[in-house]
Structure 1
Amino acid sequence: MSKFISFFNFSIKNILDDSLSIIDQARIRLVYYGLLLAMVGIVVILPNAITLHDDIQLISAYFLLGAFVVLFKFFTYKPDTVFISHALLIIGSFFMLFSVYVTFQSINIIIIQLIILIILYSFYMLGARWGTIYSLANLLPVMGYLLYSSFNNTLLSIKPEKIDNYTMIVGLFFNFILIMFIQGHFYGAFLKNIKQLKELATTEKQLNEKLEIAMHKSEQSSQVQSDFLSTMSHEIRTPLNAVIGMSNLLMMESPRPDQKENLEILRFSAGNLLTLINDVLDFNKIESGKIAFESIKFNLHELMNNICGGQMLKANEKGLNFQLHVDDFFKSRYVIGDPTRLSQIIFNLVSNAIKFTTRGGIKVEVSCAQDRLNEVVVKFSVRDTGIGISAEKVSAIFEPFTQESITTTRQFGGTGLGLAIVKRLLELQNVNISLVSEVGVGSEFYFLMTLPVSSEMIIPAAQPTPRVVLTNMDRVDYKLANLQVLIAEDNPVNVMLMKKLFTKWGITPVIAENGERAIELFQYGNFDIILMDLQMPIMDGFEASKIIRKMPDPRKANVPIIALTASALFDIKDKVYDSGMNDYVSKPFKPNELVEKMLTLVTPQEA
C-alpha cells in the first residue's frame, strides 16, 4: 500500500485503494470481514464453554480468539493479504489436525466444514499452487486418520471430547456463513472483473477504431504532404530549369566580362535555390522512412576522387587549400555498400567545410582503421580551419533547420539541413558521427563505417576508358550531330530551351506537346532516342512509354527513352523503370549529364 495507515486504524476504508484490482479488493474484504465473523462466532461459543467447564474447548477458544484479534489488528495496520492468509491457514490447519487426532479423535461435520473452508480460502487467496499445498496438507492426514481408525477405535489413550449441541449448532452456522461469504464474495468479484474486462475490451475496441482512423488520417496527411512536395517541386523546378538552362546557353555565347559576371551571379543564385529545394526533399524522404540503402560493389578510392574533384575547384576559388588522402588499401580492393548515400554524406560535410572556411584549408581523409579479412572499418574525416563551433552548440547543429547562430545563418546562408541529413543517413546505417571543434580554430567531423570487402581485386587499366566530357559547349560534338531526337515536352519555355541547347549540338529535335502526339510522331518517323517529360496533358510520359514498348516493330519498341522529370516523388525512379524507360534526368539538368546519358544509350552514326 502506498498511502499512510495509522496504527490505530480499524476501518476497511483506509485499507482499500482504488488503484487495486477488483480481485485484490475482494481479498482485502474477505480477510477483514472473515476475521470479524470468526471472532463473533468464538465470542458466541465462549460463554457455553465456560458454563460447561470444558477446558480443551475453552483453551482452544481463547487461543483462536487471541490469534484472530492480533491478526485483525496487524491487518488493519499492515494490510498484507498474503502474510495474513498464510497465518490463518497455518492456524486453521493446526486446529483441524489437533481436533481430529487429539480433541475429538473423529471426523465430524465441523471438521469437514473446516477443511472446505481451508480449501476455498487457500485457492481464492493464494492461487492454485498454495491452494493445492494447503489442501493436500489437510486432506492427506484426514484420509490417513480414516484408514487407521477403520482398524482401531482411537489413536491415543486420551479420552476424546464430545461437542455439545449448542456448540455444534453455532459452529455449523458460522462455518456455513463463512463458506457462503467466501463463495458469494468471490463470485461477485469475478462477475465484476468479467464486466470490467468486457468494458475494457469495448474501450480497447473503440480506441483501436480511433487509432485506425488516426492512422488513416496520418497516411492521408503523409500522402498529401508527398503530393504537395511533388507538385511544388515540379512547379519550382520547371521555371528553375529554364533559368539555369538559359544561363548555361548565354555562357556558351562568349558574353562580355560584365555580362559574364552577371550570368555567373544568376547561375550561382539558381544553383543555391536548387540546393535548398533538394535538401528539403531529401530530408523529407529520410524522415518519411522511405530511404532504401543499396549494397553494391564500388571503388572507394575512385568515388572519393569523384566527390572531391568538383569541391576542390570551389575551395580553390575561395583561395583555400584542399587535400584529399585515401589509404592505398582502397586502390586495390572493392568495398560493398551504398555509394550514392555515401557520396551525399561526404558531399554535405565537404560543402559545409568550404562554406564556413574563409582562410586555411580543408583536409579529407579516408583511412583503414581495421582490416578484418572480409570487412574493413573505414574512418572518414573532414577537417577544416573554419569558424568552429562552441561546445554548447555541438549537439544543436545536427538538428534540422538549425545552425550555430542567427548571425551564421545570415552570413553564410543555407537551411541548416545538411548536417541533419548526414546524421540521419548515418544513423539509419547504425553509424554515429563525431565532432571535435574549437571556435576560431576549426572543426573535424569524423565517423567509422564498417563495409564488407569484395573478394574481387581492382585491376588497374592499362589505358583508361575515354569518357565523353564536353569541356567547351561551343564545340559541337560530331557524335551528336546525326542523332534523330524526339522530345515530348508541353512547357513552351522548356521547349525553347531544349531547341536552343540542341541547336548548339547540331541537332534539330522534333517536339511533341504531349504523350499522345509523341506516339503519333514516333510511329511515322525514325528516331534514335526519345526525351520524355513525365507530366503532360492528354497522356503522360509513363503511359506513352508503355505503349511504345508494346509496338510490334522491335526497333521502335526498343528505342532508348530518357525521362525528364521535375518531380520529387520518392518512388519516381521505380516508376520510370517500371514503365519501360531506360534512364532519367532530373530538372533542372546539366547539359553534360544529358549528353553522357544520351551517348551511353545510343550508338551514334559517324558523321
Structure 2
Amino acid sequence: MFEKIREKYLLNKTQIIEIDTLGNILNSDNRIFNLSGVGQIYDFHPFFYSIESLLSLKNCEQIFYCIHIEHLNVQKSVDVFFTNTESENPILILYDFTEHYTNFQHIAQEKNETVLNFHLEELKTKLLQAEKEFKNKFMANVGHDLKTPLGASLWFINMLEKTELTNSQREAVLLLKETNTLIKGLIDDILDLSKLELGKISLDENWENLSDIIKHIQSIITPKSNQNGLQFTVEFEQNQLPQFIYTDKVRLQQILINLLDNSIKFTRKGYVKLSVKNIEKQKDTAQLLFEVEDTGIGMKITNKNDIYNSFTKLHNQKNIEGSGLGLSIVSNLITLMQGDIHYVTQLNQGTTFSILLPFKTK
C-alpha cells in the first residue's frame, strides 16, 4: 500500500540525476524534466554552474532552495539536493515544490499588498487631517479678519438708525442690518466649527436651572415660528425632570436653537415641537432626551452621516438659505458633551432629531 501511495504522490515530485565530476549526465529517471539527449548538467540549466566546485569534493551534501527551472516548456520551482556520499558519482535530487512556492508567493504578495494598503490608508488619513487642519485654521483666520470690519459696519448702521430717515431710507437701513446680522451669524458658525474641529473649544459648565433654559429657548423660537405661520409647542414634564443640571448652558441652547431653526426653515406648514424627557435617572445623574420634531419637507439621503458634514446641503430648495454648517456644529458639540444624536426622516412628511445627553443633577 505504501509503495502505491509513494508512487502516486511522491515519485512524480522527485527526480534523481547521476553525474560525473565533469558534469556529464550519466543517468536520470526523468520524473520531472526529460533530460534525454542532454549531455552536461550545465546544458540543462545555468544554475548548475554553481555546484561545479562541489563535484570534486568528498562526502559533501548541500541543498539549494526555490530554483526556478524551465526546460522543454516545463516550468518548475524545485529544491536541489546535492550529495556524493551515497555512490561513486555525485547525485542530484530535484524536489518539485512548485505548488508550495506558488502558494507562498501569493500569500506573500497578498500580505505585501495588505501592508501597502494599510500604509496608503494611513497616509491618506494624515493628508486628510492636514487638509482639515489647514482648512480650519484658514477659516478661523478669515473669520477673525472679517469680524473687525463687520463690527464697524454694524456700529455705523446702529448710529445711522438714530438719525432722521425717510421711510425708504429706514427700510434700506433695516435690510442692511439684517444682511450684516446674517453675515455675522455665518462668521460665528465658521469660527465655532473651526475651533471644534481643532479641539480648541472647552465646555464652561455650571449648575443651571433646566426650566429656565427651556423657557429662554421658547422665548427665542416662538416669534420665529409665528412669523412663519407654524405652531411651536414644548413638552416639558417638570415633575419628571431634574431642577438643576451641570452643563454649559450656552452650548446646550446653541444645539437646540440650531435644530429648531432648521425645523422652522424647512417646514412650510404644520408644527415644530421640542420635547424633553428623563430617560434614566439615578441619585446624582440623569440621561435626558431632547427631541426636535417637525412636519417639514424631510430629507432624501443615502448616507445618514452625510448631514453632519460641513458645508453639506441635502436639499435643492433655492428659496431656503443656509451655509450647511449648523448640523456639523451640533454634531461636534454633542460629541464634546459626550452625547449621541440620531434622526428619522421621511420625504415630505418631516424629521425628528433625538439628542441623548448625560448630566450631573441636583
Shift of 1:327: 2.6
Shift of 1:283: 1.3
Q: Decide which of 265, 271, 278 is 1:355's aligned counterpart.
A: 265
What RMSD, in angstroms, separates the aligned Cα atoms of the two structures?
3.9
SS in 2 for 1:437: strand
Q: Decide which of 448, 453, 456 is 2:361's aligned counterpart.
A: 453
Is 1:396 paired with 2:306? yes
Match of 2:181 in 1: 271
Shift of 1:298: 1.7
Shift of 1:76: 6.8
Q: Does the CA-based 8 Å contact 1:9-1:77 persist in structure 2?
A: no
SS in 2 for 1:344: helix
SS in 1 for 2:319: helix
Shift of 1:431: 2.9
SS in 1 for 2:297: coil
Match of 2:275 in 1: 365
Amino acid at match of 2:227: E
Amino acid at match of 2:252: L
Match of 2:208 in 1: 298
Q: Does the CA-based 8 Å contact 1:325-1:364 persist in structure 2?
A: yes
Shift of 1:364: 0.8
Shift of 1:378: 0.7
Match of 2:342 in 1: 434
Match of 1:287 in 2: 197
Q: Does the CA-based 8 Å contact 2:297-2:349 persist in structure 1?
A: yes
* Within-5 A mapping of 1:87-236: 226=137, 229=139, 231-236=141-146
CA, structure 1 residues 225+325, in 2 after alignment: closer, same or farther (shift >3 Å)?
closer
Match of 2:109 in 1: none
Is 1:325 paired with 2:235? yes
Identity %: 27
Is 1:342 paired with 2:248? no
CA, structure 1 residues 238+449, in 2 after alignment: closer, same or farther (shift >3 Å)?
same
| Greater share of residues in helix | 1
CA, structure 1 residues 272+77, in 2 after alignment: closer, same or farther (shift >3 Å)?
closer
Match of 2:321 in 1: 413
Q: Does the CA-based 8 Å contact 2:292-2:353 persist in structure 1?
A: yes
SS in 1 for 2:185: helix
Match of 2:330 in 1: 422
Q: Decide which of 63, 66, 87 is 1:44's aligned counterpart.
A: 87
Q: Deviations over 1:29-55 (max 9, x none)?
A: 9xx56xx35x542x1389xxxxxxxxx
SS in 2 for 1:378: strand
Match of 1:495 in 2: none
Amino acid at match of 1:421: I
Match of 1:110 in 2: none
Q: For residues 74 and 235 of structure 1, what CA distance do their matches in structure 2 show?
A: 74
Q: Deviations over 1:413-464 (max 9, x none)?
A: 211011111112223444331111122221111121122223xxxxxxxxxx
Shift of 1:246: 3.4
Shift of 1:284: 1.1
* Within-5 A mapping of 1:585-600: none
CA, structure 1 residues 305+277, in 2 after alignment: closer, same or farther (shift >3 Å)?
same
How many residue pairs match? The answer is 272
Q: Decide which of 143, 146, 157 is 1:247's aligned counterpart.
A: 157
Q: For residues 300 and 135 of structure 2, what CA distance do their matches in structure 1 show?
A: 39
CA, structure 1 residues 78+224, in 2 after alignment: closer, same or farther (shift >3 Å)?
closer
Q: For residues 359 and 67 of structure 2, what CA distance do their matches in structure 1 show?
A: 63
Q: For residues 243 and 236 of structure 1, what CA distance do their matches in structure 2 show?
A: 11
Match of 2:27 in 1: none
Shift of 1:311: 2.1
Amino acid at match of 2:274: V
Match of 1:552 in 2: none
Q: For residues 14 and 331 of structure 2, what CA distance do their matches in structure 1 show?
A: 61
Amino acid at match of 2:217: I
CA, structure 1 residues 255+366, in 2 after alignment: closer, same or farther (shift >3 Å)?
farther
Q: For residues 135 and 350 of structure 2, what CA distance do their matches in structure 1 show?
A: 42
SS in 2 for 1:44: coil
Structure index of larger Rg: 1
Amino acid at match of 1:320: L
Q: Deviations over 1:459-512 (max 9, x none)?
A: xxxxxxxxxxxxxxxxxxxxxxxxxxxxxxxxxxxxxxxxxxxxxxxxxxxxxx
Shift of 1:260: 3.9
Q: Deviations over 1:237-290 (max 9, x none)?
A: 223223323333444568555444333322211111111111111111122122
Shift of 1:403: 0.7
Amino acid at match of 1:265: L
Is 1:375 paired with 2:282? no
CA, structure 1 residues 74+433, in 2 after alignment: closer, same or farther (shift >3 Å)?
same
SS in 1 for 2:302: helix
Match of 2:46 in 1: none
Shift of 1:380: 0.8
CA, structure 1 residues 373+331, in 2 after alignment: closer, same or farther (shift >3 Å)?
closer
Per the normalisation by structure 1, the TM-score is: 0.39
Q: Does the CA-based 8 Å contact 1:376-1:450 persist in structure 2?
A: yes
SS in 2 for 1:412: coil
Q: Does the CA-based 8 Å contact 1:388-1:438 persist in structure 2?
A: yes
SS in 2 for 1:392: coil
Q: For residues 365 and 331 of structure 1, what CA distance do their matches in structure 2 show?
A: 12
Amino acid at match of 1:341: R
Shift of 1:222: 5.5
